[in-house]
Amino acid sequence: MRKIIFKVFLNTTLGKRGLMTIFSLLMLNTVHALKENFIKTDEIKINYNSDESKTPNIRDVQKTVSGVITDESGIPLAGVTIIVKNTKNGTTTDFDGNYTINADSNNILVFSSIGFITKEVSIGNQSQINIQLSEDIAQLDAIVVVGYGTQKRSDVTGSVASANVEAFADQPNTNILQSLQGSVAGLNIGAANSIGDSPSIEVRGRNTFAKDSNGDLQGSNPLIVLDGVIYRGSLADINPADIGTIDVLKDSSSQAIYGSQAANGVILVTTKKGKRGKKPSINFSTYYSFDSPTNRLTPANRDGFINQFQKIFYDTAFIGPDFTQPDPTYNEAGNYPYQSIIDGYNNGTDTNWLDLVTQNAFIRNTNVSVSGSSEKNSYFLSAGHTEQDGYVKNDKYSRMNLRANFENRTRDWLTIGMETALSMGDHSGIKADLRLGNLYSPLIAPYNEDGTLATDPIGVDRNPLLPTEIDQLDKRLNLFGNFHATIKLPVDGLSYKINHGISYRTQRDYRFDPNGNNFTGIASKYNSYTIDRTTDNLLTYIKTFNDKHALDATLLYGYEEREGEDTKANSGSFSNTILGYNSLELGDLNQQLVSSGAWDERSIYQMGRLNYKYNNKYLLTLTVRRDGFSGFGTKTKFGTFPSLALGWTVSEEPFIQKALPWVDNLKLRASYGKTGNRTVGRYDTLAKVNAGFQYVFGNESAYGQFISDLGNDDLGWETTTGLNLGIDFSILQNRFNGSINYYNNTTSDILFAVDLPRITGFEDINTNLGEVDNTGLEVSLSSINIQTEDFAWKSTVNFSTNKNRIASVLGKDDDGDGIEDNLIQNSLFIGESIGAVYDYVDTGKVYQIGDVIPGGYNPGNRIFEDLNGDNVLSDDKDRRILGRTEPAYRFSIFNELSYKNISLSIFLNSVQGGKDGYLGASTPTVSEYRWRHDNASTYNIVNEFRAWSPTDPNAPHAGVRFDDPIQRPNYADRSFIRLQDVRLSYKFPEKLLNNIFINQLRLFATGKNLYTWTNWVGVDPETGAGFNLESAPVMRSFSLGVNLTF
Amino acid sequence: MKIYKYIILAFVLTLAFACDEDLLSETPLDTLSPENSFLKPIDIEAALTPNYQLLRELHNGEDNVLMHSGTDLCMSARDPANSRLGDYRVGLLPSSDTALSFWTRYYKMIANSNVIISRIENIEYTDSAQKQLHLGEAYFFRGYAYRSLGYLYGGVPIVLNEITSPKTNFTRTSKQATLEQAIEDMKFAVTNLPDVTQVLKEGKLNNAAANHLLAELYLATGDNIKSIETASAVINNPAINIMTTRFGNKADEVGDPYWDLFQRNNQNRSAGNNEGILVLQEEFNIPGGTPIISGSDNDFRYERYYGSLYWFLNDPDGNKIFLGATSKNLGRPVGFIRPTPHFTHTIWGWNSDTGTFSQDERNNNRNIQRDWVSDNSSSNYFGQKISDFPQSWFDGLSAQDTLRDYYPNVTKISTPNDHPNEILSNPETGQMANFSGSTVTDWYLIRVAETYLLRAEAHLANGSPDLAAQDINMVRSRSQAPDVSAGDVNINYILDERMRELNYEEDRRLTLARLELVYDRTVLGNPFSGLTIEPFNNLYPIPFSEIQLNSEVVLEQNPEYVN
């Protein structure tokens, strides 16, 4: 009966949306009322002052030592354990970080706290010992966020990497991803070159070959979990200053708890909390960064342009037959089509368009935060403001972040908390046209004689500065709230947690272009909102039996619901433009058009996890998750993802301790599991109809519809099955530690839009097929090279390599040769990587004047190899695999040197292609960039593009007088080493500050992307932009900042 | 007391783990699906619209330039020896975009028709005539597509039902079988489509259009008698005739009936035009029609693509001859495609000794503009005709000038002095805005003049050149061109006459391919493509990607093409 009532209730909207929350609140109240009666409070108090340690050693002088323990930023640390070495005598610090202990002068005091490097100090004749503990980079005892819970680093069986957030905190990174670039082995972050956007992310190689409509690979973004709930918004909205830790789940066993969405990796972002036992402190930090391009294309100036033009039209500007002697009768101006260019030629115009469309870039950032904790409450409040001007004129971005994290422990059995944040991003303003800034002829004057912008000095492409006159408002609001309550249940070790996360995002994009529609104006108003709601119910049971069997079990049931909608209203040809986009109804009736969209999707999931540890030596983790998603086909709504992991802490074995006393920690790990990739989006399984006004009859618009996509009800998730083998070690009293992981992941049922013969009337159909293997090795090593009183030198090296191989695509052998067929039209080849480059083979030569040139070819055209020797170049017979776009390996080196109060850190990052690897297309096709003869009179060329001409027969690029019949890009190696981050910081001596009630004052200067070693020709090797004229360069930044805590 | 906590715990668990899987069923909120949008007759009506759109797109003046360029009619105005089939050896390969683009559109048209033909049986019609009309339209489009595919590629796979799941085992049929399928479909269309006077909306299909295509298909399959009969059914329709007198909205201006045919808004029957049989529709600034900015899926771009870049020309002093692109001078063309010398001179009886052409109104400066008047007041030649410029100017013209900037323009590509104000940058001077270039008027797909020429072909093939001459003279006399005598009629004459009368309106390549004369005529008329075309180019190659994708059965490539 009860169940039926619930069923009925669940079927109501209210039931579906809010039942979990409402019920949980009810539950809280009830439990609250009952709690005094049955919930046992079990406070554990450590008391090291046992009787035996009070027995004094007769030979030594017994004394009382006291002091204050703080962290590196001068905040007092409560709960730090102080033990007199080799005794049981010990104490802990109080709330203000104070301690007092009785010891002998020849004793050594050991200071330890979770997450900090343990320090030992000889007492000698000191009676006041103030200690600053530094965070433990080995993090052996650090807490690792593993999803729906945390674990001690030493208990982790999977491959979970924690990012060193602190090391890059001072860098002028407006997006947290920038500080992860290269710093976590196996986590590949692309370079950011567009402000306000997120760079690309990939964990452990690409395991899907799904491509989007542009033919770009897609579906490889990892899942982001923010403060415990899946986060669908942009990481650009999260204030980097608010982020406390970032953990990356890299192997299948640790990912499996996120089931069908985890196969591309999971990034767990946890924001700062008021740490227990810390006194309230206020932190203020600010920096200013000056940015300039690391490298950019340089368009030719007037002389270069004229010279180039003559070289392109060598057959008229030079005397044949060899075209190396200029023709004195040649009339340059006569060849320019537009009066504006002829005028410019005659009056000496030399416009630097690139200078006009670019600006001085900067970032200004300020953060204030208050954090602290009392016995019952801890909190973290922050406000941040970022303002950025990009490289391209009028490219502006600003963001306001507010955060309130709060935790309350009013009752021993109840903890409630919330993490809430607000981000207001302002992307308003349309930037100038960088592509045209590179392309516009220097002979064109940008302004009319009266000083107004010359809107249309040439034919089609308008003045590159014109977009800056568009009045645009683009404001995005992101509200994030995560609310949770944890209740200790009346069974010892059992607790229940309910978590409700809400993410609400809106965008307003309004535009008015006064220059549109023949200067009568075009305007639009676009509004969209997305709301994501997640409810997780967690039951946790943590208990140790007989001191040997440690159990940690988690059960989860959750529900996620997402919905969104958008509306766009357009108008144009305004009778009166003065009201802009705020009065669209003043436009021409026929131009007042609307469009709107809406969507929703839901997931249901259950998960169980069991961690078992025997005798601190043997570790076992079992998980299973069952995921259901509305977007999957009706036959495949649910998937189950199990995993198993084993760990053996070898260093706990007595025989190892005896044989290898210098080993502090050694752990072997092995895991195997299955995860999914939800590449299928909502509605992807359904056939679709395209509808709208498609034709006219007489003077009437005609509504039309056609079936545009085939459905596929069998569509489900991609499945990745992975093995991970790992070693964690720490030796020589933690001076040297590291972790090595080997993995092998096999992804099958890849979602792929298989091309269909167009005879069907369709272009492709989404299908689950194929198999891809990723095998890789990751090595992370950290060492404390030198550690003296005043000087320390620490290094971290990350190395990763990944080999990607397509094992199967269609699984068909239609040509009957016994080997599965390649899918050539999608560039997918069995046994090769996803990024295989398959093309004609360039001999590196071009046809010269006087050569015997085959039909259809002309001087300056590239010569390709005729592989099968049939004297015809054909797609089928004369292309082969030239290499791949994936790199061979990546590495990074982080060095941190500190001398007294000065510290210097240097971070080098590198991606290396190896043989035929990391290929990128460095040369534009002529049509794409208009570097062709028929446009040469209007469009400029960049100095880096040196095209063939009779007077430059050995130029690196093909000629442009005649289009290449085969438009193949030039492939080149993108390998690079980049001096990515340098930081110099100075901490003012505490003594100086104590008098003015400042705990810490630090000044810092940073440099970003200071130098890049590469053979790549073009904009940037990492972004892969070669001669892409619209690609903004990667910026080099110098910043100055201050960080103050009081 | 203790019992409560277990009840509560049980409560939580029951709730938490009772999962309602119905929550995961999915209904799209903003996208139509085949299940909910093919239920009523009005849905079928809507499903026919995209085929009209495809028909227009296939004749939009940009995507169809290779139906003209590389034949005896046209060549590229830019780098004509290389681009736009200037060189067949590199321009027409199995991997060339052009091989796939026509194929894709025609098969989409077939698929759209098959969806209607397959689904209409489950739809309740209160008016059975409406159902037959819908079916007639669907069969027409399918027949039209097979007809075009058959001419262009030879025999192609035939699909007659809706495809709802992937299929990669299509087989080529013979050219004969492909054309016979087209005939079957077109015969159905003839009996189910209304008379040209009975169509519900302007631009809708009628049985005359179907008969016209049927006559053409009979010709292609060698059934000359049937071809003559079917063409006669069109010609004898009292509502259809060649327009021999002035008509339409510019009837009182200086002009001629041929010129009237192409003036803005004169193409439909409502303008008093009885010649148009199937007219592709345009309307400025409404959804589904020509947008203000040229270059959508929905507008004609003959002006931009086919017109010369006249407004770039410099006078003998090096100043601009024209004050810019203006409405009166054919708008704002940029010269992608230009006519061949065969078209601009040979077929009009050019006599280089006298510098004159044969009499033909279709070749007067109104219909083919060969001369311009300078309108740039800062030029010393302001007000002068270009033809009066000194010979040294003509001698000094560059290759770019003669190929792209200065060539005779067929004026039907534009609407001189009749462009919408919204696309002028200066309504007073008539200067065109940079984004203009659309041909803002309706466009003939079929008019009865062509039916006459088809019947002439049939008569000729049937051994009656005298009857052929009669039909041709029906067309010629309207333009005051002297009659052709029966003895002078041969297929080349008819093909020249089609050029004179229909030029950019017909899919020239399809006409030549139907007759297997692409090679012969291109050698005859195209000074660039003629050097590289081979007889096997009479057929287009089967797109290589289709051969790859149809993996279970080999789609044979046409002879001599290398995949």
Nearest residue to B338 via CA among B374, B368, B372, B371:
B368
Say how many C-beta atoms besides its own lie within 10 A of residue B200's C-beta.
10
Nearest residue to A997 via CA among A366, A380, A377, A279:
A279
- Kind of pairing between the strands at A1000-1014 and A1035-1045: antiparallel
C-alpha distances in angstroms, A894 versus A179, A824, A1000?
Answer: 12, 42, 25
pLDDT band at A680 (very low <50, low <70, confident <90, very high): confident
What is the percent of chain B where pLDDT is above 70? 96
Inter-chain touch A517–B12, beta carbons under 8 Å: no
Say how many C-beta atoms besides its own lie within 10 A of residue A51's C-beta.
7
Inter-chain touch B12–A334, beta carbons under 8 Å: no
Residues A560-609: tens digit of each pLDDT: 999 999 999 999 989 899 999 999 999 998 889 999 999 999 999 999 99
Q: Could you say which of A333, A704, A962 has the minimum Cβ distance to residue B53?
A: A704
pLDDT of residue B181: 98
Tokens 């006004």, located at residue:
A693
Inter-chain touch A334–B318, beta carbons under 8 Å: yes
Residue B66 phi/psi, 5° resolution?
Answer: -80, -5
Mutate to test the interface with A, among B549, B550, B554 (most CBs of A within 10 A): B549
Q: Could you say which of A456, A601, A697 has the minimum Cβ distance to residue B203?
A: A697
**Cα–Cα distance for residue pair B374/B181, rounded to 1 Å:** 55
C-alpha distances in angstroms, A367 versus A271, A628, A767?
Answer: 14, 41, 48
Mutate to test the interface with A, among B49, B283, B315, B421 (most CBs of A within 10 A): B49
3-state secondary structure labels for all residues of A120-181: EEECCCCCECCEEECECCCCCCCEEECCCCEEEHHHCCCCEEECCCHHHCCCCCCCHHHHHC
| Residues B500-516 as b or e (16 or more Cβ within 10 Å = b) | bbbbbbbbbbbbbbbbe
Inter-chain touch B166–A767, beta carbons under 8 Å: yes
Inter-chain touch A759–B170, beta carbons under 8 Å: yes
Residue A927 has pLDDT above 70, yes or no: no
pLDDT of residue A216: 56
Q: Cβ(A806)–Cβ(A832) under 8 Å?
A: yes
Three-state DSSP at B71 gives coil
Nearest residue to B203 via CA among A694, A116, A115, A436:
A694
B382 touching chain A per CB within 8 A:
no
**Cα–Cα distance for residue pair A798/A892, rounded to 1 Å:** 5
Residue B116 has pLDDT above 60, yes or no: yes
Residue B20 has pLDDT above 70, yes or no: no
Distance to chain A for B312, nearest Cα, Å: 5
The mean pLDDT of B336-357, rounded to a whole number, is 95
The mean pLDDT of B113-138, rounded to a whole number, is 96
Q: Name the residue of chain A whose CA is nearest to B162's CA.
A: A760
Question: Which positions 538-557 of B are in contact with A (Cβ < 8 Å)?
Answer: 543-546, 548-552
Q: At what angle are helices B448-461 and B465-478 packed, to 10 degrees?
A: 160
Nearest residue to B363 via CA among B405, B404, B328, B412:
B412
Residue B17 has pLDDT above 70, yes or no: no
**Cα–Cα distance for residue pair A401/A224, rounded to 1 Å:** 19
pLDDT of residue A932: 63
Rg (CA), chain B: 27
Residue A277 has pLDDT above 80, yes or no: no
**Cα–Cα distance for residue pair A345/A343, rounded to 1 Å:** 5
pLDDT band at A486 (very low <50, low <70, confident <90, very high): very high
Distance to chain B for A312, nearest Cα, Å: 13
Nearest residue to B533 via CA among B20, B91, B64:
B91
Residues A357-371: tens digit of each pLDDT: 999 999 999 999 999
DSSP B473-508: HHHHHHTTPPPPPGGG--HHHHHHHHHHHHGGGS-H
pLDDT of residue A789: 83
**A850 vs B18, higher pLDDT:** A850
**Of how many residues is chain A composed?**
1046
Residue type, A445: A
Q: Could you say which of A23, A695, A707 has the minimum Cβ distance to residue B115?
A: A707
**Cα–Cα distance for residue pair A1023/A1034, rounded to 1 Å:** 8
pLDDT of residue A1: 40
**Cα–Cα distance for residue pair B145/A424, rounded to 1 Å:** 54
Q: Could you say which of A602, A629, A701 has the minimum Cβ distance to residue B287?
A: A701
Lowest mean pLDDT among A73-77, A710-714, A730-734, A1039-1043: A73-77
Answer whether the bond into residue A953 is a cis peptide, omega within 30°: no
The mean pLDDT of B86-100, rounded to a whole number, is 93
Residue A202 has pLDDT above 90, yes or no: no
Q: How many CA atoms lie within 13 A of A380 on its CB side?
A: 21
**Cα–Cα distance for residue pair B520/B535, rounded to 1 Å:** 8
Query: Residue A263 corresponds to which tokens in the numbers above?
Result: 């196969």
pLDDT of residue A933: 65
ipTM of the complex: 0.95
Lowest mean pLDDT among A478-492, B247-261, B392-406: B392-406
How high does pLDDT run on average in chain B? 94
Say how many C-beta atoms besides its own lie within 10 A of residue B167's C-beta.
16
Residues 6+ apart with CB under 8 A from A658: none
pLDDT of residue A1010: 94
Say how many C-beta atoms besides its own lie within 10 A of residue A77's C-beta.
23
Residues B275-327: tens digit of each pLDDT: 999 999 999 999 999 998 888 889 999 999 999 999 989 888 888 899 999 99
Inter-chain touch B543–A695, beta carbons under 8 Å: no
What is the percent of chain A where pLDDT is above 70? 91
3-state secondary structure labels for all residues of B27-57: CCCCCECCCCCCCCHHHHHHHHHHHHHHHHH
Give the containing element (helix H, strand E) for B207.
Answer: helix B207-220
Mutate to test the interface with A, among B168, B305, B402, B406 (most CBs of A within 10 A): B168
The mean pLDDT of A97-114, rounded to a whole number, is 84
pLDDT of residue A27: 41
Residue A870 has pLDDT above 90, yes or no: no
Q: Taking chain B, what is the end-to-end CA distance rounded to the nearest angstrom?
A: 84
Inter-chain touch A696–B203, beta carbons under 8 Å: yes
Inter-chain touch B14–A3, beta carbons under 8 Å: yes
Q: Cβ(A553)–Cβ(A543) under 8 Å?
A: no
Residue A315 has pLDDT above 90, yes or no: no
pLDDT of residue A61: 66
Inter-chain touch A7–B20, beta carbons under 8 Å: yes
**Cα–Cα distance for residue pair B50/A706, rounded to 1 Å:** 7
Rg (CA), chain A: 33
pLDDT of residue A775: 95
Residue A649 has pLDDT above 50, yes or no: yes
Residue B6 has pLDDT above 80, yes or no: no
Residue A237 has pLDDT above 60, yes or no: yes
pLDDT of residue A21: 42
pLDDT of residue A641: 93
pLDDT of residue A115: 67
Give the torsion through C-alpha atoms of A128, A134, A138, A142, to 10 deg: 90
Residues A953-994: tens digit of each pLDDT: 998 888 888 888 888 888 999 999 999 999 999 998 877 877
Q: How many CA atoms lie within 13 A of A99 on its CB side?
A: 29
pLDDT of residue A1013: 96
A707 chain-B contacts, CB cut-off 8 A: 34, 111-112, 115
Residues B226-271: tens digit of each pLDDT: 999 999 999 999 999 999 999 999 999 999 999 999 999 999 999 9
C-alpha distances in angstroms, B505 versus A179, B309, B361, B450?
Answer: 62, 21, 18, 10
The number of helix segments (H) and strand segments (E) in chain B equals 19, 8
Residue B367 has pLDDT above 50, yes or no: yes
Distance to chain B for A684, nearest Cα, Å: 10
pLDDT of residue B207: 97
**A926 vs A450, higher pLDDT:** A450
Say how many C-beta atoms besides its own lie within 10 A of residue A193's C-beta.
21
Query: Residue B16 corresponds to which tokens in the numbers above?
Result: 């938490």
Q: Name the residue of chain A whose CA is nearest to B199's CA.
A: A697
Three-state DSSP at A942 gives strand
**Cα–Cα distance for residue pair B461/B223, rounded to 1 Å:** 10
How high does pLDDT run on average in chain A? 85
Residue A914 has pLDDT above 70, yes or no: yes
pLDDT of residue A13: 40
Residue A930 has pLDDT above 60, yes or no: no
A508 touching chain B per CB within 8 A:
no
Residues B304-315: tens digit of each pLDDT: 999 999 998 988
Residue type, B458: A
A767 chain-B contacts, CB cut-off 8 A: 166
Residues A713-754: tens digit of each pLDDT: 888 888 999 999 999 999 988 889 999 999 999 999 988 888
Nearest residue to A160 via CA among A650, A538, A645, A536:
A645
Residue A787 has pLDDT above 60, yes or no: yes
